[in-house]
Amino acid sequence: MMKALLEAESVGHSYPGGQLGCEDVSFRLYPGEVLGVVGESGSGKSTLLGCLSGMLEPSNGIVRFDVGGQGLRDVFSLSEPERRLLMRTDWGIVRQNPRDGLRMNVSAGGNVGERLMAVGARNYGNIRNEALDWLTRVEIPSSRVDDLPRTFSGGMQQRVQIARILVSKPRLIFMDEPTGGLDVSVQARLLDLLRGLVRDLGVAAVVVTHDLAVVRLLSDRLMVMRQGRVVETGLTDQVLDDPQHPYSQLLVSSVLQA
Amino acid sequence: MNSQAFHSVDGTYNFAYLDEQTKRMIRRTLLKAIAVPGYQVPFGGREMPMAYGWGTGGIQITASIIGKDDTLKVIDQGADDTTNAVSIRRFFQRVSGVKTTEETQKATLIQTRHRIPEKQLTENQILVYQVPQPEPLWKLEPREVETRKLHAYSEYGLMHVKLYEDISRHGEIITTYDYPVEVNARHIMSPSPIPKFDNPKMAMMPALQLFGAGREKRIYAIPPYTRVRSLDFDDHPFEIQRFEDPCALCGAEGVFLDEVILDDKGDHMFVCSDSDHCRERRAAGHAGHRASDAASIGFVSSEGEA
């Protein structure tokens, strides 16, 4: 039996004032697996992602991560420096808006190299080569390595953000609407790239999105959320082709067929 | 001690301007700063009778540690006769009545802006720096809550991102002043805007180094004989500025030089930034290639022998 990488046990979070974020979410994620979380706006997807990625302490339940291959440990029982180290080495968060995930006043190469320098890389030549390598892998021409992210298109910024995270060879990445705000052809290329990278590197991922096409392409398993609760889980194709819960059926049938 | 003893020469203010409780608070801050080299200790900075940016942090430190037997030297950009230096020296003459000097080795307390004297300081001296921005990470991380965590957890990768950017844009580290240092193999610290030429002097210095930031209300310190390392990359090691020609007035080499414009036809020369060092050398008979011009272009010390 393979060891789980991330485990959520009855995770729930309420905001001050009793506003429900999410409730009673449990699952296990295994190395190399991609889990999709879908649901409409306000269904608790982003709250759940916050709890899983260590940014928001859940009011109920436990999130465990296989820290350093030493077995599952409660993420919120780690000391803050341990958790921060985890976040910039083993984890990566791809944000919907690349402006939140990038340093906009630092060149693309500097952005990609930051994680290397954060864990002690002190050889400029090596850092730069690695940054160039990763930018090439996300299809950014090496001539743009010294340009600031604001001179890049939205799709390119998103790819720089992905390179910036993958450079530390994370074992788990969280993606919050990775294709939000991109036009469809750029979306398709980004998804293609992401799928290739995730498969090649064997990195596990949790993808939160309202776009069913994204999960169809990327994820192995799917969780459908509504009003903070998981209403259906299963293999992606199974849930999308044969939805059982009325809400899943509604969600699937709401997609326009071009 | 009777209270009369605290009175300054003009009889209006307490000795050295600050009240005794404030001095005590600042001294406690100083002790903490010395105990944790390079760590920025917040303190209750006071309004001083001059604007922020004129060295209010350094002045508060000086006012807190100055005693009647001290001899004070104040330098600004290496010189004793520049506006900032003159006004701070006069301020302390008026409110404390202590002796002042322009000679580095006679001073027990040296307040400085932008330079470390060329002459090696001793264990009997204290160097007080004026600091405009104590946080070395501020240009990359504007949130103070975050920078404090970065210091607390030694997460200093960001500082190298800045140096990386320098090299990628200019082929070398072009940060020439306020060049970040690592103190006692732990904290990363802004050395205040001294030229990086002076960075190596901070390492293992026999004198106590105190840093005061008035606007930001932070004090930090480097105790005597502490390791101070300028940050760099393995393949782009730290280097100090080099000058091709010696000082035009005293012929000194291996010192930090200022360019001085002499007329509007492009005539210029490089002279010692440390005016006391230059004066002393000239008095000892050293001469650069324009030494004879010194008097004619007004290059004489205010205590001047020339």
Residues 6+ positions from A110 with CB-CB distance below 8 Å: A103, A131, B161, B164, B165, B168
Check pLDDT > 90 for residue A199: no
What is residue B296's predicted lDDT score, i.e. its pLDDT?
63
Measured between alpha carbons, how far is B194 from B179 in angstroms, rounded to an integer?
8
Distance CA A22, CA A11 (A): 8
Tell whether B210 and B287 lie within a shared domain.
no
User: Are A113 and B235 an interchain contact pair (Cβ–Cβ within 8 Å)?
Assistant: no
Confirm whether B291 is domain-assigned. Answer: yes
3 state SS of A80: helix
In a domain, B147, yes or no: no
Residue B17 DSSP code: B
| Residue B234 domain-assigned (yes or no) | no
The pLDDT assigned to B295 comes to: 66
Contacts of A25 (CB under 8 A, 6+ apart): A8, A10, A11, A12, A48, A61, A223, A225, A229, A230
For the cut 80, the answer to whether the pLDDT of residue A74 exceeds it is: yes
Amino acid at position B3, single letter: S
Q: Are residues B197 and B82 in the same domain?
A: yes
Does residue B170 sit within a domain?
no
Number of domains forming the structure of chain B: 2
- Inspect the interface and report whether the beta carbons of A125 and B235 lie closer than 8 Å: yes
Asked whether the predicted pLDDT for residue B1 surpasses 50, the reply is no
Please tell me which of A152-161, B184-193, B288-297 the model is most confident about, judged by mean pLDDT: B184-193
| Whether residue B122 is found in the same domain as residue B252 | no
Interface predicted TM-score of the whole assembly (ipTM), two decimals: 0.87
Does any domain span residue B102? yes
Q: How confident is the model at residue B6 (pLDDT cuts 50, 70, 90)?
A: low
Residue B103 and residue B60 in one domain: yes
Structure tokens at A165: 């995270």
Together in a domain, B80 and B8: yes
- Same domain membership, residue B280 and residue B195: no
**Could you say which of B202, B229, B256 is where a domain stops?**
B229
How many Cβ contacts (< 8 angstroms) between chains A and B? 60
B169–A146 CB contact, under 8 Å = yes
**C-beta of residue A230 within 8 angstroms of C-beta of residue A236:** no
Distance CA A76, CA A129 (A): 36
**Residue closest to A253 by CA, chosen among A220, A219, A212, A222:** A212
Q: Point out the domain boundary residue: B229, B257, B272.
A: B229
- Whether residue B200 lies inside any domain: the answer is yes
Q: Which residues of B touch A122 (CB under 8 A)?
A: 160, 233-234
CB contact (8 A) between residue A80 and residue B164: no
**Residue B193 pLDDT grade (very low, low, confident, very high; cuts 50, 70, 90):** very high
Domain co-membership, B292 together with B183: no
Asked whether residue B235 is domain-assigned, the answer is no
**Does residue B223 sit in the same domain as residue B260?**
no
A163 versus B263: the higher-pLDDT residue is A163
Question: Which DSSP symbol is given to B227?
Answer: -
| Parent domain of B280 | 242-301
The answer on B287 and B186 residing in a single domain is no
Question: B90 in a domain, yes or no?
Answer: yes
Nearest CB to B161; choose among A80, A110, A146: A110
Residue B12 is encoded by which pair of tokens?
């209006």
- If asked whether residues B72 and B11 sit together in one domain, one would say yes
What does pTM read for this prediction?
0.88
**Which of A117, A120, A123 minimises the CB distance to B161?**
A117
- Considering the domain architecture, whether residues B221 and B250 belong to the same structural domain is answered as no
Interface test with chain B among A115, A124, A168, by most B beta carbons within 10 Å: A124
- What CATH number did the domain enclosing B70 receive? 3.40.50.11310
| Residue A110 near residue B164, CB atoms below 8 Å | yes
Claim to verify: residue B191 and residue B271 sit in the same structural domain: no
What does the pLDDT look like over A77-113, one tens digit per residue?
999 999 999 998 999 999 989 999 999 999 999 999 9
